[in-house]
Chain A
């Protein structure tokens, strides 16, 4: 089991649970939740932090030894997203970016056309691009072909807690992907995270399910275990489903033994 490692753009990450920070009620709660999640990589909305400010979420991450993944949350055009990514690279010294280009505020669904445009520009500029995308196998493949380092299909809309609405599409994405698939957005509880991993995703990214839970620290621990359990189940291989029962201990020889 020890050789089961998550590698993105040639870099190994110590956890398959990637966390977001949005919605945390306080820095103390966020810190405790991140520690309980065991995460090694956490996204921060660059439009909502000042990298030079003290006591910010970036300070919390650096004190916890968690790598920062800047994201372009709040951008509606490729132009804004590219600019935000560049500012993040300058401020944080990382070329990794979670690329988010949102189509509208009500659904927060990705705008696929702007997303592809922004991804092309950022890849050409040397970024390690992790795009937040629809659960569309064709779009996921296109993003990979452009040169994205991973693809991050949604389970359902951001913050909705609706879980994975189209598991079949996620399976199709996983089947064809040559880069890591990270299930991003919509997870509500631990079983959703476990399902993502059982479907073959390489990692899970979540925020709201933890930060807006009644007990964020507990939910973070639950997610950590769920991701580990789901990954193990995927590697172990589930049994085929049968129509009728099959006794787990053999009947043969019972009478004579």
Chain B
């Protein structure tokens, strides 16, 4: 509470906002709300998952006064995600711009992690030892060959492996594995170590964390001017960024249609523990048409994921979900049944209509969104933080962001 009181006291000094808004309106170009000359840009970010946390850090490092609002930081999809960094093996026809965004993010990851670990002294479990993707039967191999041809047509280096080569790389793979692909530049990170590091980085950079739920959006003269917390406290800001995953559209007072529809897509994930190294690198498999992946950590944890279920805001763990994951994982790596069971959890990925993130200004001046990262939130964290921080600070935004503007879902486009 002390933190909130201090915050209120500070906010009471910003009464000039209305005047600024009016002056801006008088100029007939009220597209962006600018802070008064010389003042620090005040930003409220709703949602402290990987995207909100990383953006808060980057925006604060860029000179803004950032307040991050979340009752329980890093408790949603960020706490469940396996953390595979693989723009390549998730490639889907028609989603080439998303591939470019993923590649741009993967390129940034090394420097991003180095800076983060330097600043905080905390590790993140970042590794770049490649990802192997294998096919269980002949149909699965057909699917993988199709994927490889598509990747090659886009100029992505992939290495085709025979079944025996797959097993030389990962000896625990089932003898019947037909073949596979190696994405040598892909890797993984441990989201449960990444988020504490991002929190610490934010703290060191001056990000204020408010552990409350944002209940409403403050709108004055057709512009967003802050948020109201669930205890009634008002946090005023020059700009508000919604980065609350599938809850991003849930604020009271949000004009309808301002935030593109983002739905929750449930994923169940199992965590196992190996006493001796089980697999050397992240291993994905297509098993009789369904997908499964296993991500190893240095401490012996093996993450098995993930279901993809369209069941609204439901985070129940189900017998069927676990069974499907373990069934496919066991087909691929029979020895998995010897591992210790550690944990099972379910998270909600934010899915936009085209499965791609939604990043940038909305039609409501002062309001920005950064959500819709779906299966790729952890991968896309560095590039999203750069894009969103640049947008919020009026700095040049990387070109790769262009296809992901929120206005692509405006009614004129979709109807």
Q: A: which residues have CB within 8 A of B? A: 25-29, 31, 48-50, 52-57, 59, 105-106, 159, 214-215
Contact A25 B353, beta carbon cutoff 8 Å: no
Contact B354 A27, beta carbon cutoff 8 Å: yes
Pick from A31, A55, A159, A215: contact of B94, CB under 8 Å: A215
Contact A53 B311, beta carbon cutoff 8 Å: yes
Pick from B263, B310, B313, B353: contact of A48, CB under 8 Å: B310
Closest to B93 in A: A214
A43 to B212, CA, bound (A): 42
Contact A159 B93, beta carbon cutoff 8 Å: no
Question: Is B403 engaged at the interface, CB distance under 8 Å to the other chain?
Answer: no
**What are 16 A-to-B residue pairs whose CB atoms are below 8 Å?**
A25-B93, A25-B355, A27-B351, A27-B355, A28-B353, A28-B354, A31-B414, A48-B309, A50-B311, A55-B261, A55-B351, A55-B353, A56-B263, A57-B310, A159-B289, A214-B94
Q: B: which residues have CB within 8 A of A? A: 92-95, 261-264, 288-289, 309-314, 351, 353-355, 414
Give the most central of B95, B262, B309, B353: most A CB within 10 Å.
B353
Give chain B nearest CB distance to A30 CB in angstroms: 9
Contact A26 B289, beta carbon cutoff 8 Å: no
Q: Main SS of chain B's interface residues? A: loop
A57 to B310, CA, bound (A): 9
Contacts of B261 in A (CB 8 A): 54-55, 59
Contact B93 A53, beta carbon cutoff 8 Å: no
Contacts of B314 in A (CB 8 A): 50
A48 to B310, CA, bound (A): 6
Contact A55 B92, beta carbon cutoff 8 Å: no
Contact B353 A53, beta carbon cutoff 8 Å: no
A131 to B332, CA, bound (A): 35
Contact B354 A26, beta carbon cutoff 8 Å: yes
Contact B311 A49, beta carbon cutoff 8 Å: yes
Contact B310 A56, beta carbon cutoff 8 Å: yes
A135 to B352, CA, bound (A): 39
Give chain A nearest CB distance to B329 CB in angstroms: 16
Contact B288 A106, beta carbon cutoff 8 Å: yes
Closest to B266 in A: A50
A52 to B310, CA, bound (A): 11
A257 to B6, CA, bound (A): 106
Pick from A29, A49, A215: contact of B310, CB under 8 Å: A49
Apart from A25-B92, A54-B261, what 12 extra A-B contacts exist at CB < 8 Å? A25-B95, A28-B355, A29-B354, A31-B353, A48-B310, A50-B311, A50-B312, A55-B351, A105-B288, A214-B93, A215-B93, A215-B94
Contact B310 A26, beta carbon cutoff 8 Å: no
* Nearest 9 pairs of A and B residues by beta carbon: A53-B312, A55-B263, A50-B312, A28-B354, A55-B261, A26-B355, A27-B353, A28-B353, A50-B311
Give chain B nearest CB distance to A33 CB in angstroms: 11
Closest to B327 in A: A105
Closest to B314 in A: A50
A27 to B93, CA, bound (A): 14
Contacts of B289 in A (CB 8 A): 159
A105 to B314, CA, bound (A): 25
A50 to B309, CA, bound (A): 9
Contacts of B354 in A (CB 8 A): 26-29
Give chain B nearest CB distance to A216 CB in angstroms: 8
A214 to B93, CA, bound (A): 6
Pick from B95, B310, B353, B414: contact of A50, CB under 8 Å: B310
Contact A53 B310, beta carbon cutoff 8 Å: yes
Give chain A nearest CB distance to B407 CB in angstroms: 14
Give chain A nearest CB distance to B150 CB in angstroms: 8
A38 to B311, CA, bound (A): 27
Contacts of A105 in B (CB 8 A): 288
Give chain B nearest CB distance to A251 CB in angstroms: 51
A41 to B15, CA, bound (A): 56
Contact B262 A55, beta carbon cutoff 8 Å: yes
